Amino acid sequence: MSIVKWEKQENVAVLTMTNGENRHNPAFSTAMKAAFDEMMADTDVHALVLVSDDPKNWSLGVDVMWMMERFQAKDMEAVSQWLYEMNQVFRFLIMCPFPSIAAITGHAFGNGAMLAGACDFRFMRSDKGYMCLPEVDLNIQFAPSMIQWMKKAMPYHLFIDMKWSGRRVGAAELEKHNVLIKTCDGIESTIQEAIRFGKQFHKPRKTLLEMKKRTYKHITDAMENEDPRYLDPPVFMLTP
């Protein structure tokens, strides 16, 4: 089964996650990074829209089965390496020299919600799907940079509410708090609205990249200077 595929619609790279629940594991991070490299090589790309072809799920986050297998095998090195690779995925969506846009057409849970939050903008299907941070119920912690970039995606009070409660939040509430650019009717409408939004961007990559460097310096500083003590070894994953 494929992991991701992408195509270009005018100036917009449409990156589709194609693996059902779109769980995050080494295969996922490797496929995403390869697609990003191809987009960067295409200088006509001036926006990225991230979608899922699963009718129920956008991304359910960490591949728990893979993670537990690595923990049981005491293979902390593999877990740590993958966490750094996922940070590269998140960092690309945050720092790519063109706007990144999530077209959320199903559930975005845990690391999947983090993936949506790493994007610059979000659209979401109104009739089905939730965003949820269930880590509090799984005894899992957030890396420092995650906290920083989610604060750009939603009001801090909502982020605290979602972290402390682990509750599922639907599109209407997310739109009310300006987490979304827009709610849309159904899968196709969500994707097409996100692509239409992306087509307005024809900005110089160099200029936008410098803007992002200055705007998101606190996030990249956290990735580089704070995350390592949680990721290597991966002690942040589980509450002590």
Domain assignment present for residue 150? The answer is yes
**203 lies in some domain:** no
Model confidence band, residue 94 (pLDDT cutoffs 50, 70, 90): very high
* pLDDT value of position 236: 63
Report phi then psi at 23, rounded to 5: -70, 150
Instruction: Locate 212 and state its tokens.
Output: 């992002």
> Does residue 159 lie within any of the structural domains?
yes
The predicted pLDDT at position 239 comes to 67
Percent of residues, the chain, with pLDDT higher than 90: 92
Does residue 235 carry a pLDDT above 80? no
Measured CA to CA, the distance from residue 141 to residue 62 in angstroms comes to: 13
**Residues 9, 55: Cα–Cα separation, whole Å:** 22
Which of 49-53, 204-208, 216-220, 230-234 is least confident? 230-234
pLDDT at 238 over 80: no
Burial of 165 (0-12, 13-18, 19+ CB in 10 A): middle
What is the per-residue pLDDT across 37-89, written as a single tens digit (0 to 9) for each? 999 999 999 999 999 999 999 999 999 999 999 989 999 999 999 999 999 99
The mean pLDDT of 199-209, rounded to a whole number, is: 98
The per-residue pLDDT for 26 is 98
Instruction: Please report the beta strands in the chain, taking only residues with DSSP state E, as ranges in sequence order.
Output: 4-9, 12-17, 47-52, 57-59, 100-104, 107-109, 121-125, 131-132, 168-169, 182-184
Identify whether 54 is part of a domain. Answer: yes
Is pLDDT of 138 > 70?
Answer: yes
Q: How many domains are there within the chain?
A: 1
Distance CA 131, CA 141 (A): 17
Q: Could you give the percent of the chain with pLDDT greater than 70?
A: 97
Q: What is the CATH number of the domain that holds 142?
A: 3.90.226.10
Residue 60 lies in a domain: yes
Residue 208, in any domain of the structure: no
Tell me the pLDDT of the chain averaged across its residues: 96
Domain membership flag for residue 132: yes
Q: pLDDT category, 233, cuts 50, 70, 90?
A: confident
Sign of the torsion angle spanned by Cα atoms 234, 236, 238, 240: positive
With 0.85 as the threshold, say if the pTM is over it.
yes
Inside any domain, residue 40: yes
Q: Is the pLDDT of residue 192 over 80?
A: yes
| 46: containing domain | 4-198
The confidence score (pLDDT) of residue 123 equals 98
